[in-house]
Chains A and B, each alone.
Chain A
């Protein structure tokens, strides 16, 4: 079950165990209807984002003042905004921003958090103290506020959100990975590797981190909706994506002014955020439940 790199031969028996593990997880994941709904939502989202130019009925950036604020109908399924742009097409293109924001900063911050967490747990002592105090400091900031400060310094743009959310997000991961490292550090396979003279970083990279992967996977799936929500909030407050970007948060914010006369401008993009975050949460919860017996056995 443990991806034991130190083992000389990869016996058939182990391979069998490996497949049983995956099958077990999949079996229990499959039984969870909400998790499957989550997979469906996320798949649709990915397809829509990738094929946006073909899926979108109109050009999402094309200004057409003659068609300003048209209610949802045959020509524009979800209506138009103050510049006569098609709301549906903008929501479809917005899926690209949300997915990218969900994935890139989450992967970055999980990566940073994993490295720092494993280093802290493995070496202990002052290194550990320093990294964990830094994590405490980062976790003390309400995440949105820290992200706002970083955006203030870097300037509001979509790419700076990547940096802001990575700076904010690593601390939680590092705590979890550190805790896991502490428990693996004492185990026989790590001791054996150390006795055999394997270098520290090899032990960390090949013996400890692979064993933390299930936890890391859960952190990633549950980190994605958080990142998406943060981007939407930053853009809503005006310090995230800038016009004319088709960011859902920005669309809700812009549409808010015209809520009474053209509610579709903010209602539908907000619903898109809800559905996306819900989908990823279903998926993450399902994954956590499916991996739970395995994590407990560890």
Chain B
């Protein structure tokens, strides 16, 4: 019996190293990090909450409804009201709790209007004009009111719902926030008077 001739097997070919090109790896990582950054910014913004007391009130431009102008002007800019106490009330015609405070807000306006240093602004949140006008007429509201076009003002204040009311002092700083309806006109006046008393 013969032994088979030893076969020297050829050296196995070195396995080709298959790796992702460096530029592709960098691109993927950069893309992932950018995406995470965008998500982080979005999450942070959504968790921010409404503006707080002692924050500077966000500047805004309110386009009033016809017949509800401020001193004849249909555009009211918060920055132009520096030196006055501004009460910004967010409401909607479909908001039942808003109806509870509507009359009280109008009474407060009538009480402060002659002095001229307290301005009440109504911001109509995601509403339709005919219904908004119906609401204003129903409660005999005469202070300046306008629609929150594009929800820019409510987004600036980061409101959670309606009604919400923000009291801004003469320096443009938020001094008091009311979430939900006021129970009486005295409540409104006590807040305004306390801000007036501050220097």
Query: Bound pair: A and B?
Result: no
Q: Which residues of A contact B (CB under 8 A)?
A: none
Residues on B close to A: CB < 8 A? none
